Amino acid sequence: MPSNKSVSDAPITQFVNCRILREHKLQREDLWVREGKILDPEKLFFDEQGYADTRVDCEGSIMAPGFIDTQINGGYGMDFSQPSDDVNAGISFVAKKILEHGVTSFCPTLVTSPPAVYHKVLPQIKAHSGGQHGAGVLGVHLEGPFISSEKKGAHPEKYLRTFQSGGMADLTETYGSLDNVTVVTLAPELAGSQSVVRELSARGVTVSLGHSVANLSQAEDAVQHGASFITHLFNAMLPFHHRDPGIVGLLTSDRIPPGRTVFYGMIADGIHTNPAALRIAHRAHPSGLVLVTDAITAMGLPPGRHTLGQQVIEIQGLHAYVAGLRPSRALRRHVLSLPDLVLLDDALNVKSTFISGEKVWSRTP
């Protein structure tokens, strides 16, 4: 029966025999969870006189926060940028499959597409919590089409847009509703971008800078107006230069507003970014690092031809190429965040995934 009816009817789960990273060391201790929140054991014992309803033996495994991926374009044959009458079926399928990788929540990501695609797809995607049905959906990440043609990467140039109408009107015309949109990636050097950054930030939408040829001053201006993220640092932007480090310079800029942090995504697959570049970024700004997969339809599938929005992607070994061109790989690295949990072995392979303290996937029954 629930242990603390005076406080909550919810049961308490105690994870025992687990190792938790504290102060850069793995320390063996227990973890107490109620309603998806980690409890202070002293408060539980002395103030509430509580006890565990359920004990989970972690058998010496590493206990880590559940993985959050802010940039997944699709996977297992599902492409979130492909219009259909049941987009949620594809998202639900991917959400269930990625539990085995320790992902407890994610942002379905749409790459540059024609307006008709956004108008059909976006109304079907709703933010929701995770559980036995799959990882939670935090909201949609819209990567484009308001990006630089010079740094378009795998985005089709014919669908790129500028802010011709002066700002938010262009977004409304292109996307339709911004309900359940969490992140928008744009190029801050585009004329009219400042008012868009301000308006999106005021609405609680994270503005991410990427696919851009912005110089440092333009990037800093965007941050001054509310931008707070960088899409796949180093990729699809001007390379670092000592006279003008461009968007990369935000990691050490002295023009970041007090109390604000600029976070940056990185695709840590050893292909998109050399491990040395990853180390440089982390040492310059460790608190801002967010590992993302940028996973595509081909994740979990064998080599061959797959889609990425309006493009055809060919997988060859560990690499993916736009038919006839180059870059991108579907990997499986994620950023950590509480309160969901994963159990890892010493090689950091996922053994079990928990959402709100409930086991939703396990390598063994």
Residues 69, 170, 294, 340: which is the catalytic one? Answer: 294
Q: Is 143 annotated as a binding residue?
A: yes
Rounded CA-CA distance 307/60 in Å is 41
Rounded CA-CA distance 99/300 in Å is 13
Q: Is 157 annotated as a binding residue?
A: no
Rounded CA-CA distance 218/221 in Å is 5
Q: Is 282 annotated as a binding residue?
A: no
- Catalytic site includes residue 294: yes
Q: Are 343 and 350 in contact (CB under 8 A)?
A: yes
Is the four-CA dihedral 233, 238, 242, 247 of positive or negative sign? negative
State which H helix or E strand residue 281 sits in: helix 275-284
Rounded CA-CA distance 2/40 in Å is 18
Task: Of 83, 70, 98, 75, give the one whose Cα is nearest residue 184.
Answer: 70
Rounded CA-CA distance 304/54 in Å is 46
Cis bond before residue 257 (omega within 30° of 0): no
**Annotation: binding site for Zn(2+):** 143, 211, 232
Known catalytic residues are 294
**Annotation: binding site:** 143, 211, 232
